[in-house]
Amino acid sequence: MQLQEILYSQGFGTRRVCAGLIQQGWVSVQAAGAPELGVCLNPAQDFDERGLLLRVQGQDWPYQAKAYVILNKPVGTECSQRPSAYPSVYTLLPGPLRQRPTRGSLSGVQAVGRLDQDTTGLLLLSDDGQFIHRMSSPKRHVPKVYQVRVRHAIDGTQIERLLAGVVLDDDPKPVRAAACVQADANRIDLTLTEGKYHQVKRMIAAVGNRVEALHRSRIGGLELPEDLAPGQWRWLRPQELELLK
C-alpha cells in the first residue's frame, strides 16, 4: 500500500495532507523486522502495512487495519461526539483516532454503547461496525459487570428482586440481573446482559434504593486493567480481543 494511503487510513488527514506530511519529512517508517525508523519522502512508496510502525510529527503510531481501543472513562464526561453539558470522551483520544475514515456519516472510532456522564470505567471504542454491533446487540447477551454503590444498605430481599426481575416504566417485561454479588453493606457487583437507558439506576430505584456511584469493571471476559488510569486509553491487545469473543 502507498505510504500516503496508509497515513490516510490511520486518520492523519486527507490524502493531500498526508502527502504533504511525507514530502516535508514529518513521516518515518519502520517495516516489520527493520532495525530502526527511517524518514520516507515519497508519498507513493509502497509498504507492507502489516507490522508497520509510523512516526508522524514525533508521534509513534503502529499500523492498525481496524481500531480497537479501551478507555477508562472518567466521571463528568459524555459518550457523545456532540456533548450537551459535559466534555466528550472523544477529546481524550488522539486526533487520528477521531479522524479515521469510515463508511458511515461519522468519522473516527465510535463508543461501543454509552455510559452516563457520572458513570466511570471500561469503555470500548472501535471503527469496526461488526464488532460494535456484536458487543452492543441485546441479542448477543454480552455480560457487563457494574460496581454499584447505593445510598441505603442493600438487603437480601432487594438482591432477590434484582435477580428475579423488576419492571421498568417503559417495558412491561421484567428486566433481570444475570448475577448480583454483595461486596459490602452499600455495594453490589451487578451483571447485566442487555443495555437499556439508565438501566442500572432504574433497576436499583425499582427495588427502593438509589445509586450513589456507578463503575463498569468488566465487559465479557475483559476486565478494566488496573494500570489504566481514569482518562487514559490504549490499544486492545490480541489476547484481550479474544476474551471479548
For 188, phi and psi rounded to 5 degrees? Answer: -130, 155
Helices (H) and strands (E) in the chain, counts: 7, 15
Catalytic residue among 46, 48, 116, 184: 116
- Which of 56, 62, 76 is closest to 12 using CA atoms? 56
Distance, in Å, from the CA atom of 97 to the CA atom of 61, rounded to the nearest integer, reads 11
Residue 116 annotated as catalytic = yes
Distance, in Å, from the CA atom of 52 to the CA atom of 193, rounded to the nearest integer, reads 37
Positions annotated as catalytic residues are 116
